[in-house]
Amino acid sequence: MGKKMFEALLLSRLLAWRVGSTFYMGKGATS
């Protein structure tokens, strides 16, 4: 269970980083 929870947390962090990265790049391009 701990491993599953850890994987879910890692995946969510990776997803959040990708979304934030693309948003930051898009924002920089528009401004």
- pLDDT of 3-12, one tens digit each? 999 999 999 9
Say what the alpha-carbon torsion angle 19, 24, 29, 31 is, to the nearest 10 degrees.
130
pTM, two decimal places: 0.57
SS (HEC) of the chain: CHHHHHHHHHHHHHHHHHHHHHHHHHHHHHC
Q: What is the mean pLDDT of residues 7-30?
A: 88
Q: Quote the pLDDT of residue 13.
A: 96
Band the pLDDT of 28: cuts 50, 70, 90: confident
Specify the pLDDT at position 6: 96
Cα–Cα distance measured from residue 6 to residue 28, given in angstroms and rounded to the nearest whole number: 32
Per-residue burial over 9-31, b = 16 or more CB atoms within 10 Å of its CB, e = otherwise: eeeeeeeeeeeeeeeeeeeeeee
- Average pLDDT over every residue of 16-25: 88
